[in-house]
Amino acid sequence: MSVAAPLKINLGSGKDFRADFLNIDVNDYWSPDVVADVSGDFPPHGSADYPTQRFGNVTIAHGTYDEIMSNDVLEHVPDLVATMTNCLKLLRVGGVFNILVPYDLSYGAWQDPTHIRAFNERSWLYYTDWFWYLGWSEYRFITRKISFVPNPIGAQLMADGQPKDIVLRTPRAIDAMKVSLEKIPLSEDDREALARFTGEGKRIRAEIHARP
């Protein structure tokens, strides 16, 4: 008899396989529950069945999951916007996306040749306050929490009483950033902003195309 699949996704599980999560990875080498590329069309048409050894056939569908965890993954994905959009759609309203990524001033940001981006505090604006840039018309994220993982240099600076802003701006002081994003429906103000900014963009493009 199959056990019900968890309503939590470990995205890019790799060697960090977690028994209490549905583990998804693009590489079958790590034997995840589901082999899939979440930066592509995932799940196709908003819902698809996937065979798993632990849970039998699992239906992965939009609006289902309580939590998505992504540790040291987003710096690798080829299409970050598509990945963030897919994760937004997979979560239920109130669901949380917990993220760990390398900080852009850290050694770890660029020591790995497979990293194609790094992150800082402002890397999340387009998925939260500026959602309309991405054409998100129903839901967006809000930032619940951002915290930082210092290395010994950063820890010493903090112990010496250096202000947080100084520590964050000191190269090689912070190794990583932890971010917790929550899915919410667009408010009336959000919908007005979406209409205003997307409408203004269309007007400007129309004016450019109309120029001789």
Q: Show me where the domains of the chain are located.
A: 8-149+175-186
Q: Which residue, 211, 7, 177, 190, is CA-closest to 75?
A: 177
For the entire predicted model, the pTM comes to: 0.91
- Percent with pLDDT over 70 in the chain: 94
DSSP 8-state symbol, 103: B
Q: Beta 22-25 vs 8-11: how paired, if at all? A: parallel
The rounded distance, in Å, linking the Cα atoms of 104 and 124 is 13
The single residue listed with the structure tokens 């899915």 is: 183
Task: Kindly report the number of other CB atoms within 10 A of residue 195's CB atom.
Answer: 12
Predicted local confidence at residue 204, as pLDDT: 54
Predicted local confidence at residue 199, as pLDDT: 77
Residue 74, helix vs strand vs coil? coil
Side by side, which strands form the sheet with 34-35? 34-35, 22-25, 8-11, 65-71, 91-102, 174-185, 139-150
The rounded distance, in Å, linking the Cα atoms of 13 and 22 is 9
Write out pLDDT tens, residues 5-15.
Answer: 999 999 998 89
Contacts of 3 (CB under 8 A, 6+ apart): 54, 55
Contacts of 87 (CB under 8 A, 6+ apart): 11, 38, 68, 70, 97
Predicted local confidence at residue 200, as pLDDT: 62
Predicted local confidence at residue 207, as pLDDT: 63
Residues 18-28 as b/e (b if ≥16 CB within 10 A, e otherwise) read eeebbbbbbee
DSSP 8-state symbol, 4: P
Radius of gyration of the chain measured on its C-alpha atoms: 20
Write out pLDDT tens, residues 97-127.
Answer: 999 999 999 999 999 999 999 999 999 999 9
Q: Which numeric CATH code is attached to 8-149+175-186?
A: 3.40.50.150
